[in-house]
Amino acid sequence: MSVLEAALAARLGADVADLHRLSGGASRETWSFDADGRELILRRDPPASPEPDAMAREAALLASAARAGVPVPSLVDHGPDLAGTPFLIMERLAGETIPRRLLRDDAFAAVRPRLARDLGGVLARLHTMEPVPGLPDDDPLDAITAYYEAFDEPRPAVELALRWLGEHRPAASGRRAVVHGDFRNGNLMIAPDGVTGVLDWELTHLGDPAEDLGWLCVKAWRFGSPHPAGGFGSREDLLAGYAGAGGTPPTLEELRWWEVYGTLRWTVLCRHQAERFLSGSDTSIEYAVLGRKVCEQEHDMLLALGLTSPVTVADPLAAAPGAPSGPPAHDRPDAAALIDAAGAFLLEAEQPDERLRFHARVAASALRIARRELLLGEAHRAAHAARLRGLGCASDADLAAAVREGALDDRRDEVVAAIRALVIDKLTVANPRHLAVPG
Q: How far is it, in rounded angstroms, from Cα 290 to Cα 369?
A: 12
pLDDT of residue 331: 84
Burial of 219 (0-12, 13-18, 19+ CB in 10 A): buried
Q: How far is it, in rounded angstroms, from Cα 288 to Cα 273?
A: 9
> Cα–chain-centroid distance for residue 421?
24
* Contact call for residues 300 and 313 (beta carbons, < 8 A): no
CA distances from 405 to 159, 162, 213 (A): 10, 12, 31
- The fold for domain 99-255 equals Aminoglycoside 3'-phosphotransferase; Chain: A, domain 2 (3.90.1200)
Count CA atoms closer than 13 A to 267's CA, side-chain side: 30
**C-alpha angle with apex 259: 98 to 396, nearest 5 degrees?**
100
- Please name every residue paired with 50 in a beta bridge, in sequence order, or none if there are none: none
Helix%, strand%, coil% for the chain, nearest 5 = 50, 10, 35
Q: Alpha-carbon torsion 137, 140, 142, 148, what sign?
A: positive
Q: How far is it, in rounded angstroms, from Cα 128 to Cα 113?
A: 26
CA distances from 341 to 124, 344, 360 (A): 51, 5, 13
Strands 75-82 and 85-91: antiparallel
Among 219, 227, 222, 225, smallest CA distance to 301 is for 219
Supply the Cα-derived Rg of the chain in whole angstroms. Answer: 23
Q: What is the largest CA-CA distance in the chain?
A: 74
* Residue 48: φ, ψ to 5°: -80, -15
pLDDT of residue 293: 95
At 19, is the secondary structure helix, strand, or coil? strand
* Contact call for residues 148 and 297 (beta carbons, < 8 A): no
Among 233, 296, 289, smallest CA distance to 431 is for 296
pLDDT of residue 281: 87
At 206, is the secondary structure helix, strand, or coil? strand
Q: How far is it, in rounded angstroms, from Cα 95 to Cα 188?
A: 9
Q: pTM score, two decimals?
A: 0.93
Among 43, 377, 368, 304, smallest CA distance to 157 is for 304
- Please name every residue paired with 75 in a beta bridge, in sequence order, or none if there are none: 90
Burial of 62 (0-12, 13-18, 19+ CB in 10 A): buried
Alpha helices in 13-139 (DSSP H): 52-67, 99-104, 112-126
CATH number of 3-91: 3.30.200.20
Per-residue pLDDT 10s for the chain (439 aa) are 799 999 999 999 999 999 999 876 667 899 999 999 999 999 999 888 899 999 999 999 999 999 999 999 999 999 999 999 999 999 999 999 999 999 999 999 999 999 999 999 999 999 999 999 999 999 999 999 999 999 999 999 999 999 999 999 999 888 999 999 999 999 999 999 999 999 999 999 999 999 999 999 999 999 999 999 999 999 999 999 999 999 999 999 999 999 999 999 999 999 999 998 999 988 889 999 999 999 999 999 999 999 999 999 999 999 866 656 667 778 888 888 899 899 988 988 888 878 888 889 999 999 999 999 999 999 999 999 999 999 999 999 999 999 999 999 999 999 999 999 999 999 999 999 999 999 8
What is the distance between the terminal CA atoms of the chain, rounded to a whole angstrom? 49
Q: Where in the chain is the domain with CATH 3.30.200.20?
A: 3-91
Among 289, 261, 310, smallest CA distance to 420 is for 310
pLDDT of residue 4: 95
pLDDT of residue 393: 98
Query: Going by C-beta distance under 8 Å and a sequence separation of 6 or more, which residues neighbour residue 121?
Result: 241, 242, 244, 245
Crossing angle between the packed helical segments 294-304 and 412-430, to the nearest 10 degrees: 140
Q: How far is it, in rounded angstroms, from Cα 168 to Cα 160?
A: 12
At 297, is the secondary structure helix, strand, or coil? helix
- Please name every residue paired with 88 in a beta bridge, in sequence order, or none if there are none: 43, 78
| DSSP state for residue 40 in the 8-state scheme | E
Q: Where in the chain is the domain with CATH 3.90.1200.10?
A: 99-255
pLDDT of residue 324: 61
- Please name every residue paired with 38 in a beta bridge, in sequence order, or none if there are none: 35
